[in-house]
Amino acid sequence: MAAVTSIRRAGGGGAARRVIRAARRWQAAQPGILVIAVDGHGAAGKSTIAAAVAHATGAALVRTDDFFRWPAARPGGTPDGGPALAEYYDWRRIRAEALEPLRGRRAAAFRGFDWPRGAGPGPWVTVEPSGLIVLEGVFSAAPELSDLVDRSVLVDTPEQERLRRLRARVSPDEWDADWLAAEQAYFAVIRPPSSFGLVVPGTSPRPAEFKEGTS
């Protein structure tokens, strides 16, 4: 009952409960530290679900947004020649400053991206270790991190709803078409929905919308 109350307070609803139940099964099958990636398109609802899971379980929560960076365009990154999604995230720092310490049962400390300023390092972030680690954000299930991530969850929200949410958050002058192209290529080729162990909806869930896999 306490976990259900925590989810209601944090938001996330049925999708968060599904992730928690899956995490318990995965932990039972694999004792020790468990790292779950909660990935999905921008504005899919990942942050809300991951926060609810962490709030209810005491999981260590790391966000890929803290490791964001503006990439230099490199030809060949996406089909239209834009940057690849891996260029938007400092995945080496995610490994060295977040996942490796937490997997070693040590606190992680790193400088998050300064989103209000839109550039450079921001305030220090400290994440205490836990037996369950949730890595949340676009790119969290990327191959560059796969040896440190045990299970993957996709938050799947219809494109029309995602774009509606994005347009409510991002002004026209901040709209990044290269980012959207890189994100589309990532989920179409590198991490398609079929490659995730669990798929949950980022909108009001219906039972038929839940799909579970094994990885």
Read off the CATH number of the domain in which 122 is found: 3.40.50.300
Q: Is residue 176 very low, low, confident or very high in pLDDT (cuts 50, 70, 90)?
A: confident
> pLDDT tens, 34-73?
999 999 999 999 999 999 999 999 999 999 999 999 876 5
Strand partners, 152: 37
CA-nearest of 157, 168, 169 to 205 is 157
Position 78 scores a pLDDT of 66
**Residue 6's domain spans which residues?**
2-212
Digit-coded pLDDT (tens) for 104-161:
999 999 999 998 888 889 999 999 999 999 999 999 999 999 999 999 999 999 999 9
DSSP string, 10-40: H--HHHHHHHHHHHHHHHHHS-S-EEEEEE-
Q: Is pLDDT above 80 for 211?
A: no
Q: Using CA atoms, how far apart are residues 44 and 183, in angstroms rounded to an integer?
A: 12
- Residue 3 near residue 99, CB atoms below 8 Å: no
Amino acid identity of residue 30, one-letter, is Q
User: What span, in angstroms and rounded, lies between the C-alpha atoms of 130 and 126?
Assistant: 13
Reply yes or no on whether the pLDDT at 83 is more than 60: yes
- Kindly report the backbone phi and psi dihedral angles of residue 202, in degrees, each rounded to the nearest multiple of 5, phi listed first: -95, 5
Q: How many domains does the chain have?
A: 1
State the chain's mean pLDDT as an integer. Answer: 87
Residue 171 has pLDDT above 90, yes or no: no
Residue 116: per-residue pLDDT: 87
